[in-house]
Amino acid sequence: MSSLGKHYEDGEVIVRQGENGNCMYVIQEGTVDVIASADGRELHLRSLGTNDFFGEMALFEGETRTATIRSNGPSQILTIDKKSLLGGIHEDPSLVFRILQTMSYRIRDLTERLARCEEET
């Protein structure tokens, strides 16, 4: 695996729901599971793989983490703080569009999944 970033083993928690966050992450290698806890249950929201990112909401909102991210097999994860992200955006303004595009897709996906759950009840 790459020497950049941090190595995580299978099942290792990278971020935990409810924690304060001041950075986002990019998956250099491997996959992670995005899990939200509600009413004592764990809900698997999605899996993310190489070149996907997570934790960006903490940079934009300054709120606590909305989900737990757990490594699914060995993974290599790069941490990006706000200053580094802003520098990257300055170098490549299209980065903002790609982040917003991904966030929009995730919101649409969760909205559609919630609507299906409502229909089933």
Q: Which residues pair with 37 in a beta bridge?
A: 42
More confident: 115 or 79: 79
One-letter identity of residue 19: E
* Cβ neighbours around 100 below 10 Å, total: 12
Task: Find the mean pLDDT for residues 110-117.
Answer: 84
* Cβ neighbours around 92 below 10 Å, total: 11
Q: What is the pLDDT of residues 26-46, one digit of tens each?
A: 999 999 999 999 888 999 999
Query: CATH top-level class for 6-120?
Result: mainly beta
Q: What is the pLDDT of residues 59-94, one digit of tens each?
A: 888 889 999 999 999 999 999 998 999 999 999 999
